[in-house]
Amino acid sequence: MKDHSPLLTCSVCGRSLPASELVPFEVVRSPISEILRRNRPGWAEGDLICLEIQQVQMELMEEIASHRRSVEPEGLEGGPE
């Protein structure tokens, strides 16, 4: 559509942002959702997160690195961008 996107609210930080800067719950991979849920118990289906998801992805990678003795990272492809 050609009209500008309405502002939506990030469920994690509460800021209002254009839809283009938000990632919907269903697109967020489950390991990332797990971390989000830990920090934000309200994170649930239908929620949105802003680009700070990239930061969460980094947390996830650090976590995997520190647990890699017991947990094998399974094809963690695609970093931020």
List the one residue from 28, 32, 36, 50 that touches Zn ion (CB under 5 A).
50
Cβ at position 57, least distance to Zn ion in Å: 14
Q: In Å, how far are 1, 15, 57, 77 from 29, measured between CA atoms?
A: 27, 22, 10, 12
Task: Report the residue from 5, 7, 13, 16 that binds Zn ion according to the rule CB under 5 A.
Answer: 13
**Binding of residue 12 to Zn ion (CB under 5 A):** yes
Binding piece for Zn ion, criterion CB under 5 A, among 29-37, 45-53, 63-71, 72-80 = 45-53
Tell me the residue length of the chain.
81
Cα pseudo-dihedral 46, 27, 49, 66, rounded to 10:
130
Least Cβ distance, residue 1 to Zn ion (angstroms): 24
